[in-house]
Amino acid sequence: MSPSARPLDPRAVLLGVAALTLVGLVVWPVSQVVWRSALVDGALSLGNYQRALGQPGNLRALMNTIWVGLASTVAAMIAGTALAFLLVRTDMPGKAWLRPLLVVPYAIPPFFGAIAWAQLLGPQGYLMRPLLHLLGLPQAPFSVYSAWGIAFVTAIHYFPFVFLTVSGALQRMDASLEEAARTSGAGSLRVMRDVTIPLVAPAVLAGGILAFIGSIANFGIPALLGIRARFYVLTTSIYSALNIPDFALATAESMLLVVVAGGALAAQWRLQRGEGRYTVVAGKSIHPQVLRLGRLRGVAFGVSILMVVVIAVLPIFALLLTSFLKYYGAPLAAASMTLRHYAYVIDQENIRRALWNSTVLGIAAATLTMVLGTFISYARVRAKLRGAAALDALGMLPYALPHTVIGIAMILAWSRPPLALYGTLGIMLLAYLVAYLPYALRTTAATLQQVHGSLEEAARVAGAGPLAALRDVIVPLVKPGMVAGWILVFMPAFRELTMSILLFGLRTETIGVIIFNMQDSGYTQIAAALSVLVLGLILGSNLAVRRATGGQVGF
């Protein structure tokens, strides 16, 4: 070997393997969606987009998507910002236990919330019936099976995105400007209006953008509450097109959904680049003055309790109550209660199989994304290998892709020989890997940035090779972050619906698909019983993880 020749770095070889993996996982499937959307009778054409935008029903679905996204986001921003300020910056009582209750909707799958609110505000809902009796009305004055109903339930589910984002900004904010305003004679309310709110405005907008992206990409809520009322958004319109099947129209509508989501992400990135103009974190420790509410303490506490009841207590109560009723609409009496729905759920082979499938897919997706994400983040943050930054950007691309689009991409890429995977657990696992890889990348990158490079250098000086240093030094140090990322992937993967409903086949149903199909077919009590069991598993697992990690991991 020439003296000037350098030995091949094994990390570069692994990076090449990671690059090939991402090409197969991301580039090939996404390119198929783009290509097929512009293909008509084997020739390049904009005909599919003309159909998607020219037909009144399809154009209406696009407008409905934007309307639901904006309406739910505005509601989430108002409620999330107000409650974040009350819990972080006031002397309102009960803040320690109100905070975890306010983020419960994050743990509840969106379509569970749709099922619950259909039972609460449906024509014979638990809240609707006493309301009609109280007002003496012959029929409901409004319906949850409507655009407003979808926006309301969606806002509840994505409210924690704004609440958590704004809470974090308020906790880290440099309070010197507020103190200066008070020194100048400004009252507390004026300080909040003229100083505090402008400073946290970027956090409010950032949380709002996250809520908007989530709402336009959601399938379960508009499917359960909208299709019955013939109110379609892009996700449900794509689902309907695939059932025809009309892949050309589905791919064109998928690209429209990508454009809407991409526009929101572009706004978020632009906002992040301009954050220097709104610096809220200071190097010195300043404890902001707590706003004393005085007589309004009770009012603020009551509003917070009402919010907890609406977003957490009522939906869970509705699922529980429905799961025990002999039939939907039965009188609320002891004679109407039964455990047979739970017995049925436990006894069904397809439900046990779905639970097993979801568990296997969740564990496999969480483990594989963390392995791939950890190495790519290590290559970019610590090893600074050539090409690692490009791979990181490629791995983050699916963050801009709604799950419906990822599902269609998997169908187009992996449903034909030589690798026909449609209807198998394999194609669902590939979809999960694509969708949740960004979670792993951001979690591990943040953890690796806290590890000083001298520790790895010391191992190399002691004679350890690059892979040995990675295995024996870096991985043990970032293990807490990897565990947190693993849980962040497993939880949504376990309850996933949007991609699974497009990809499942015979004997490959997931728990989300089973519950959705039961509710859609009218088996309301059975769907509620299974939802309660799954929700109990999710909340119980989260509680166990939080206790085991001292509250550092979990939601």
Tell me which amino acid residue 53 is: L
Mean pLDDT of 234-248: 90
Per-residue pLDDT at 529: 93
Mean pLDDT of 310-322: 92
**Euclidean distance between the first and final Cα of the chain, in Å?**
55
CA distance 236 to 111: 13
Asked whether the predicted pLDDT for residue 455 surpasses 60, the reply is no
Q: Per mean pLDDT, which range of 86-95, 163-172, 293-302, 516-525 is the poorest?
A: 163-172
Mean pLDDT of 336-346: 92
pLDDT band at residue 372 under the 50/70/90 scheme: very high
Burial of 463 (0-12, 13-18, 19+ CB in 10 A): exposed
What confidence tens digit (pLDDT) does each residue in 145-178 have? 999 999 999 999 999 888 888 887 777 666 666 6
Higher-scoring residue by pLDDT: 176, 541: 541
pLDDT band at residue 463 under the 50/70/90 scheme: low
Asked whether the predicted pLDDT for residue 1 surpasses 60, the reply is no
Q: Per mean pLDDT, which range of 22-31, 112-121, 374-383, 397-406 is the poorest?
A: 374-383
Helix (H, G, I), strand (E, B) or coil at 279: coil
Per-residue pLDDT at 118: 92
Per-residue pLDDT at 283: 43
Asked whether the predicted pLDDT for residue 338 surpasses 70, the reply is yes
Per-residue pLDDT at 454: 58
Nearest alpha-carbon partner for 427 in 502, 492, 494:
502
Tell me which amino acid residue 288 is: P
Mean pLDDT of 65-70: 96
Q: Per mean pLDDT, which range of 113-117, 160-164, 192-196, 521-525 is the poorest?
A: 192-196
Per-residue pLDDT at 545: 65
Asked whether the predicted pLDDT for residue 513 surpasses 90, the reply is yes
What confidence tens digit (pLDDT) does each residue in 95-153 have? 888 888 888 888 788 999 999 999 999 888 888 888 888 888 888 788 899 999 999 99
Per-residue pLDDT at 411: 94
pLDDT band at residue 281 under the 50/70/90 scheme: very low
Per-residue pLDDT at 68: 96
Percent residues over pLDDT 90 in the chain:
40
Mean pLDDT of 443-469: 64
Per-residue pLDDT at 240: 92
Asked whether the predicted pLDDT for residue 528 surpasses 80, the reply is yes
Q: Per mean pLDDT, which range of 51-55, 376-380, 401-405, 465-469 is the poorest?
A: 465-469
Per-residue pLDDT at 366: 93
3-state SS track over 383-422: CCCCCHHHHHHHHHHHHHCCHHHHHHHHHHHHCCCCCCCC
User: What is the set of domains in the chain, with CATH numbers?
Assistant: 10-35+339-555 (1.10.3720.10), 55-289+305-335 (1.10.3720.10)
Per-residue pLDDT at 452: 56
pLDDT band at residue 220 under the 50/70/90 scheme: very high
Tell me which amino acid residue 5 is: A
How many residues belong to the chain? 555
CA distance 9 to 465: 9
Per-residue pLDDT at 485: 78
Report in angstroms the alpha-carbon separations of 371 from 368, 424, 438, 549: 5, 23, 12, 21
Mean pLDDT of 245-249: 87
Stretch (H or E) spanning 198: helix 197-217
